Amino acid sequence: MDALCCAGCGSAYPLNDRRWKCDCGHFLDIRFRPSFDREAIRKRKPTLWRYREAIPIGDDRSIVSFDEGFTPLVPLVLGRRELLLKLEQLFPTGSYKDRGASVLLGKAREMGIREIVEDSSGNAGCAVAAYAARAGISCEILVPESASPGKLAQIAMYGAKLRTVPGSREATADAALHAAETVYYASHSWNPFFLQGTKTFAYEVWEQLGFRAPQSLLIPTGNGTLLIGAYLGFRDLAECGLIPAVPRLVAVQAAECAPLLRMFREGLGEVPPIDAGETIAEGVAIARPIRGKQIVEIVRETGGRSWRSRTRMWKKPSSSLARRGCTWSRRGPSAWRRSSATGTSGTGRPSPP
């Protein structure tokens, strides 16, 4: 039966329950049985909603969309290897976070929610603000005072109430948790419906590779919303017998803020306290990822790894990408540089069907 499930205490709740965490305080995941009809998928518009039967929204009238998704998968030669780049910056608000926002705000509309709160260093706030505006849902976005002025202007442009929080990124998350005591928390890290959107990344890669899975993926990782989403999507495909196994997932962090790397290397079961340094990679500079243990477990389960990349070394990979006609976010060069240093593809060649 479809449900909201807690891995912490084992509790389960109805899928349409207006909750974003378990009564025990743990985050929730979603139990949902997807289905895939390749012929039907091929005939639909090239958006993430072409995988409609794999997304847990009951009423099509609740869908909140700008026809987003199905971003290009572009081959680039790196040394003697071919690297495939998924151009997620081509979403309406400029990042893959639109995947999660589309599904999360659609579910919020289906449940009759009229007001939400979210915290973000930039991209998630932009996505949630834009899709809340599309859905007609009142929205407040909390951001750290160090957030990019351009991102703040974009959030405000969508009509969201913008609140700047002094201190660290973690202080902003704490302020949002306090606000969420009375308002539905449309969090990209806590709310499991956001991950039901980011998992469509995996479905698209599968289809774009001729309905096959890649051997491995390198994913810049902060709160882990894309890495967890990719895992969920490929797991769906594996459980439906459409691919042999989930690909290896490699989590790449900025060296100045890499708690997941320490967890992976030291075998830790919880996110350790770290002294986070300054980095231009604000989107992945998360010192206390709420799903940190889940991320590390996924990396280990898939036979992947956790890597770090020093942002002061990003000038060369950034220039290399630009000379190939590609733009990037401040997190993108991390995976590119690790690929260049190790000779490993970001999205590897497909596994046999």
Q: Alpha carbon 302 to chain centroid distance?
A: 18
Pair 328, 65: CB distance under 8 Å? no
Residue numbers of the domain that contains 9: 1-31
Query: What does pLDDT average to in each consecutive run of 10 residues of the chain (353 residues)?
Result: 95 97 98 97 97 97 98 86 90 97 98 97 94 98 92 96 92 96 97 98 98 95 96 98 97 90 93 78 82 97 89 59 65 44 43 49
pTM: 0.91
What distance in Å separates the CA atoms of residue 149 and residue 277, rounded to the nearest whole number? 20
Phi, psi of 143 (to 5 degrees): -135, 150
Q: 209 vs 2, 50, 163, CA distance in Å? A: 30, 16, 42
What distance in Å separates the CA atoms of residue 157 and residue 218, rounded to the nearest whole number? 33
> How much is the pLDDT for 347?
54
CATH code of the domain covering residue 338 = 3.40.50.1100
Residues 225 and 280 in one domain: yes
What distance in Å separates the CA atoms of residue 76 and residue 162, rounded to the nearest whole number? 39
* Cβ atoms within 10 Å of 210's Cβ, excluding its own: 8
130 lies in some domain = no
Q: Structurally, how many domains does the chain consist of?
A: 2
183 lies in some domain = no
262 lies in some domain = yes
106 lies in some domain = no
Q: Alpha carbon 285 to chain centroid distance?
A: 14
> How much is the pLDDT for 281?
65
The letter for the amino acid at 165 is: V
Q: 45 vs 17, 204, 265, CA distance in Å? A: 31, 13, 43
> How much is the pLDDT for 342?
34
> How much is the pLDDT for 350?
59
Terminal Cα distance for the chain, rounded:
30
> How much is the pLDDT for 78?
73
> How much is the pLDDT for 170?
86
